């Protein structure tokens, strides 16, 4: 593949323009908010703010029995502060935000599908380029338009999806995406300390390494799930002029920018991908600190978010960077050692609600536990999906090479995938409408699992749309999306330990393309 200087790369300049755009948009958020006198930093500043008492209801720190969302378990955490008072909500404010969200979501999914179908017949070396394709311009244009629309909508009707869906669903959708990135990057960096990755050829690595079939399946269709996670969260919040909102909108834009650059070399850049993955570390910390209150150090959640996400960084995420494979393996513990030193020092003075120190250190394992346990669950579900799909196909016998489903069948599969996400959004709305009184953190963790299940089911539908290669026979099938051979019988499924020549060549091509993107 021919190397192209960074200043001649269309994908680099599109990426750079995207960074400039979000910086300007955040500036506009703060500028327009300041012009209108908005200063609603959190619910704790409600009574000292110049305008918040006219704009919002106060946080329900004192329970209000009988008022939906303002009493019961964790009412103050379940109530989203930045939304219109219920008596100011109209059919127009609701219609504007829902039509905007649905339009953005469906058009982006359509753009991703168009991109995949247009590139389906190409090899990795052909697919990825420094040049922008028609699909890139479409996706970039859509995202820019809907960001400008959201800013306009915030200053016209204000309300976002927070009025109608649970706050836990917004947070869970992003955590779901971050958990699934653990699977997405598994081949290159393994699970812990960069092991066992595709680069490890030892016998122990081969024994404990996950099957790459489910990993490759998710890598092919992850764009749809990630688009839902960030667009849903993007429309959950109004464009309020706080640093928590600004960092959140920056993150969702950066992920949308990454999706808009699909099939470009920039999309593969490991440093850029790592930034997208770890952004939540400081964003989560800032939001938790901002909303934690000035005199509630012992009950603030920022240490759990900062040190929890940072632990995943030093155990797993940082090993996305290619230089780790070029230095001695024992150096991989250095980030963890530094992390532990900083964490132990911080928890020597971070108190709990009773003023005790040291006792909160156990909270740093909560977020990593969610990451790794749900990543394992997602892998198991994807493996099950491959098994079900192959059994269904084998029961019908082999089919023609690159046989494409009929238009009616494709529409049915697309509708099935969209329906799954519609169910997820409906569930989130029902939690709000029915005022389900569950602790926010517990509900978030529960919804992450529900959303992962939904994503896996939607992938089963999407998988039927793409071109498929013919089955080798009634008991063995090869798939064009780099899934592994799986032999089946009436009694068992046996996974082989080798790849086809096609898969080996494809992975080498992919590595060659990715290597080119490690530098701008």
The string of DSSP letters for 201-242 reads -SHHHHHHSPPHHHHHHHHHHHHHHHHHHHHHHHHHS---SS
pLDDT, residue 474, reads 32
pLDDT digits (tens, 9 = 90+) for 418-448: 999 999 999 999 999 999 999 999 999 999 9
pLDDT, residue 469, reads 40
The tokens describing 349, both together, are 């003075």
Instruction: Please report the sign of the dihedral spanned by the C-alpha atoms of residue 205, residue 322, residue 180, residue 460.
Output: negative
pLDDT, residue 401, reads 45
Q: To the nearest whole percent, how much of the chain has pLDDT over 90?
A: 73
pLDDT, residue 396, reads 56
pLDDT digits (tens, 9 = 90+) for 1-51: 557 898 899 999 999 999 999 999 999 999 999 999 999 999 888 999 999
Question: Is residue 464 helix, strand or coil?
Answer: coil
The tokens describing 155, both together, are 């200053």
Looking at residues 347-354, what average pLDDT do you find? Answer: 88
Higher per-residue pLDDT: 499 or 416: 416
Q: How far apart are CA 323 and CA 308, in angstroms?
A: 25
pLDDT, residue 84, reads 97
Q: Residue 109: pLDDT band by 50, 70, 90 thresholds? A: very high
What is the pTM for the complete model shown?
0.89
Which residues are registered as beta bridge partners of 494?
487
pLDDT over 90 (residue 162): yes
| Distances from the Cα of 320 to the Cα of 128, 354, 496, angstroms | 20, 40, 27
pLDDT, residue 391, reads 84
pLDDT, residue 377, reads 98
Which H or E element spans position 488? strand 486-488
pLDDT, residue 489, reads 33
pLDDT digits (tens, 9 = 90+) for 387-409: 988 888 776 554 444 567 889 99
pLDDT, residue 484, reads 35
Question: Exposure string (b/e) for 308-340, b if CB count within 10 Å is 16 or more?
Answer: bbbbbbbbbbbbbbeebeeeeeeebeebbeebe
pLDDT, residue 390, reads 85
Short-list 256, 29, 265, CA closest to 141: 256
Which H or E element spans position 495? strand 493-495
Which H or E element spans position 486? strand 486-488
pLDDT digits (tens, 9 = 90+) for 115-161: 998 888 777 667 899 999 999 999 999 999 999 999 999 999 999 99
Which H or E element spans position 143? helix 134-154
pLDDT, residue 501, reads 39
Q: How far apart are CA 262 and CA 251, in angstroms?
A: 17
pLDDT, residue 308, reads 97
Q: To the nearest whole percent, how much of the chain has pLDDT over 70?
A: 85
Between helix 167-184 and helix 407-433 the angle, nearest 10°, is 130
Whether the Cβ atoms of residue 484 and residue 99 lie closer than 8 Å to each other: no
Which residues are registered as beta bridge partners of 95?
none
What mean pLDDT, rounded, does the chain reach? 88
pLDDT over 90 (residue 334): yes
Q: What φ, ψ does residue 245 adopt, rounded to 5°?
A: -65, -40
Least confident of 202-206, 367-371, 479-483: 479-483
Q: Residue 475: pLDDT band by 50, 70, 90 thresholds? A: very low
């Amino acid at each position: 593949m021919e190397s192209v200087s960074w200043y001649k790369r269309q994908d680099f300049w599109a990426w750079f323009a995207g960074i400039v755009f979000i910086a300007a948009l955040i500036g506009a958020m703060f500028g327009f908010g300041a012009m209108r006198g908005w200063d609603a930093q959190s619910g704790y500043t409600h009574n000292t703010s110049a305008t918040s008492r006219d704009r919002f209801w106060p946080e329900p720190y004192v329970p209000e029995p009988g008022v939906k969302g303002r009493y019961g378990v964790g009412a103050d955490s379940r109530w989203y502060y930045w939304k219109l008072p219920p008596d100011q909500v109209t059919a127009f404010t609701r219609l504007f935000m829902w039509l905007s969200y649905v339009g953005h979501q469906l058009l982006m999914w359509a753009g991703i599908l168009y991109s995949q179908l247009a590139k389906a017949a190409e090899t990795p070396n052909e697919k990825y380029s420094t040049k922008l394709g028609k699909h890139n311009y479409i996706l970039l244009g859509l995202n820019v338009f809907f960001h400008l629309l959201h800013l306009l909508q915030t200053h016209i009707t204000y309300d976002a999806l927070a009025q109608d869906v649970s706050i836990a669903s917004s947070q869970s959708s992003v955590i779901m995406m971050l958990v699934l990135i653990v699977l997405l990057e598994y081949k290159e960096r393994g699970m812990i300390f960069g092991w066992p990755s595709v680069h490890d050829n030892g016998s122990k690595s081969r024994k404990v390494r996950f099957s790459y079939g489910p990993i490759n399946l998710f890598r092919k269709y992850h764009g749809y799930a990630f688009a839902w996670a960030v667009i849903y969260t993007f429309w959950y919040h109004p464009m309020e002029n706080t640093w928590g909102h600004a960092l959140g909108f920056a993150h969702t834009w950066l992920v949308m920018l990454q999706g808009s650059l699909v099939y470009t070399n920039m999309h593969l850049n490991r440093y850029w991908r790592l930034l997208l993955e770890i952004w939540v570390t400081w964003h989560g910390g800032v939001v938790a600190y901002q909303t934690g209150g000035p005199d509630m150090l012992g009950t603030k959640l920022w240490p759990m978010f900062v040190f929890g996400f940072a632990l995943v960084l030093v155990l797993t995420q940082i090993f996305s960077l290619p230089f780790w494979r070029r230095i001695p393996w024992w150096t991989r513990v250095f980030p963890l050692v530094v992390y532990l030193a900083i964490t132990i020092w911080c928890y020597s003075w971070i108190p709990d609600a009773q003023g005790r120190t040291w006792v909160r250190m156990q909270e740093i394992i909560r977020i990593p536990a969610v990451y790794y346990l749900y990543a394992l669950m997602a892998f198991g579900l994807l493996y099950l999906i491959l098994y079900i799909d192959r059994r269904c196909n084998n029961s019908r016998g082999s089919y023609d090479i690159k046989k494409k489903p009929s238009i009616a069948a494709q529409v049915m599969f697309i509708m099935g995938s969209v329906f799954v996400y519609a169910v997820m959004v409906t569930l989130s709305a029902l939690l709000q409408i029915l005022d389900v009184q569950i602790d926010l953190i517990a509900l978030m963790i529960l919804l992450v699992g529900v959303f992962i299940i939904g994503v896996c089911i939607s992938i089963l539908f999407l998988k039927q749309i793409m071109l498929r290669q013919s089955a080798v026979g009634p008991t063995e099938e090869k798939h064009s999306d780099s899934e592994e051979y799986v032999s089946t019988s009436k009694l068992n499924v046996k996974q082989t330990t080798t790849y086809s020549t096609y898969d080996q060549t494809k992975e080498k091509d992919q590595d060659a393309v990715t290597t080119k993107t490690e530098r701008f």
